[in-house]
Structure 1
Amino acid sequence: MLQFFTKKTFLKDLLDGFVDMHSHILPGIDDGAKSIAESIDLIAGLQALGVKQFMPTPHVMQDFYPNNDETIGNAYQQLLYALDAKTRSEITINPAAEYMLDDNFLKQLETQEMFTLKGHYLLIEMSYFQPPINLEEIIYKIKTKGYFPILAHPERYSFYHNAKEQYLKMKQLGCFFQLNMLSLSAHYGKNVEKAANYLIENDLIDFIATDTHNLNHIKKLSNLTLNKGLAKKLPAIIEKTCSTFSVI
């Protein structure tokens, strides 16, 4: 009896020339790369997946990672200096930041220039335990300052899993959504994978990124396969991500 097999679609097959607008590859300033050597290894691994342009987004958290112009700029310059000429000629690196919506965020918004992605897009995240009480006010202030808020990995906030109407509310407030690629697997748990599929199926995801912190993430990304539904939906999200954030 003949058996017919369809070829698996690997996520990496869709990433040639990809613009990764969320990762933690800058050395020694958050929970991502711990050293310059590790940063270089992460870049090489992401290049092998197809990433061409890198937008490192170190955490900015008041109590854990109080990053600023100096810490981000220094880490960026150290990394550039350490890269060989061949790698520098093959890629671009333009740092931004991922801002936790903590008690210090509104003060930062008022008193300093923010590290944004191309086009004044501002990458933000929330606590995994609960959203800020004044979330609507924060989103409004971000927009009045001329920034476009992108909520990082909305699928990972478990408090929205059984309150999916909150996703729509966030979109109505003018918030863009960025999905983590590893959320398309069980890496963060089955509930996160289900939420990721829900958001994609309902056309709520605007952008996608690796959110790479370590080499294990890259290994999992290299082996990640897609079902037919995802293989059909993801190319448009990937294209929108690249066209929005490409600097070439």
Structure 2
Amino acid sequence: MIDIHSHIIPAVDDGCKDEAMALAMLRKAAASGTRAIFATSHVLSAGEHPSWEKLQAGVEWLRSACRDNDIDLQIYSGAEVFMDWELLDELAVNGSYCLNGEAFGKQAVTYMLVELPMHFLPQYADDFWYELRLKGVVPILAHPERYPELMAHTERLLKWRKEGLLLQCNAGSFAGRFGESAQRAAKLLLKNHLVDFIGSDAHRAVGRDTDMREGVQVIRELAGEAECRRICEENPQRVVAGERIEVEEILEIVREKKKGFWSRLFG
């Protein structure tokens, strides 16, 4: 498995607190079958976030920690960028805040993980995606299943999908760790072939951690081994390699019909 979303760099955001916790998170990731992990610290607003250089230094520390402690885990750079219009000028400057940003300019395609405000959709969202694409960046939306407004207006999501937006769901959402609503939404997206990646979105060594196995097992049971492999291995490996990911255009999200009383009774 490849974890495309985590907060494992110590003491830069609301995730990993210190080096001891980082080591515990790295060990848990490797022990649970993750072979590579992107360090995607929060980049929340212009002028109030860690510099790209600081995040790269954090990634180098994580790599050294893995080598020094015999942890079999590849570490890749990145960030979870908040959709703030004022941040645009700072993004994708020589790879800044891109996934595997060190390879910027050497590969055909560059990707960036972006999160929305939790309870509303910015009016400039369409333009934000457009500006990222002008920079040569393919955007990946972080945990769409956790945005109630977006899941209530999935026509907006399908429009973005048609324009090339990719989607990353949290492994914990499939396992119910973010509540029933997020779990239902994650399964709905999976059923409609709208999940391209998963991530732990880990913030701690215990609880919201780097062990993705429970969520991955749900994906495997619902979608099959080939689809699970595409989401958990093949697509993230294409991000690392800088290869384009082709997506199926979805015209409509098919929802399960609610069963009536007699269907529930005798079904």
Matched position secondary structure for 1:47: helix
Matched position secondary structure for 2:49: coil
1:128–1:47 CA distance, 2 compared to 1 (3 A): same
Mean CA deviation greater in 49-58 or 158-167: 158-167
Alignment of 1:20-39 (within 5 A): 20-39=3-22
Offset of residue 221 of structure 1: 4.0
Matched, 1:98 2:88: no
Alignment of 1:75-94 (within 5 A): 75-87=58-70, 90-94=72-76
Residue equivalent to 1:5 = none
Contact 2:110 2:239 in 1 (8 A): no
Q: Which amino acid aligns with 2:39?
A: P
Residue equivalent to 2:222 = 229
Matched, 1:116 2:110: no
Offset of residue 245 of structure 1: 3.5
1:79–1:19 CA distance, 2 compared to 1 (3 A): same
CA distance in 2, matches of 1:241, 1:135: 24
More relative contact order in 1 or in 2 (CA 8 Å, sep 6+)?
A: 1
1:157–1:109 CA distance, 2 compared to 1 (3 A): same
Alignment of 1:128-167 (within 5 A): 128-167=118-157
1:54–1:182 CA distance, 2 compared to 1 (3 A): same
TM-score (norm 2): 0.77
CA distance in 2, matches of 1:75, 1:242: 21
Q: What is the CA deviation profile of residues 37-72 of structure 1, one whole-angstrom value per residue up to 9, with x for unaligned ones?
A: 100000000111111112111010127961112321
Q: Which runs of 5+ in 2 are unaligned?
A: 101-108, 242-267
Identity %: 27
Count of residues paired in the alignment:
229
Q: Which amino acid aligns with 2:207?
A: N
Q: Which amino acid aligns with 2:132?
A: I
Which has the larger strand fraction?
A: 1
Q: Which amino acid aligns with 1:25?
A: I
Contact 1:58 1:97 in 2 (8 A): yes
Residue equivalent to 2:183 = 193
Offset of residue 73 of structure 1: 2.6
Mean CA deviation greater in 33-42 or 159-168: 159-168
CA distance in 1, matches of 2:234, 2:61: 31
Offset of residue 100 of structure 1: 0.4
Residue equivalent to 1:4 = none
Q: What is the CA deviation profile of residues 148-190 of structure 1, one whole-angstrom value per residue up to 9, with x for unaligned ones?
A: 1101111111102222222211201221111110110221111
Offset of residue 236 of structure 1: 3.0
CA distance in 1, matches of 2:92, 2:229: 37
Contact 2:3 2:232 in 1 (8 A): no
Residue equivalent to 2:237 = 243
Q: Which amino acid aligns with 1:92?
A: Q
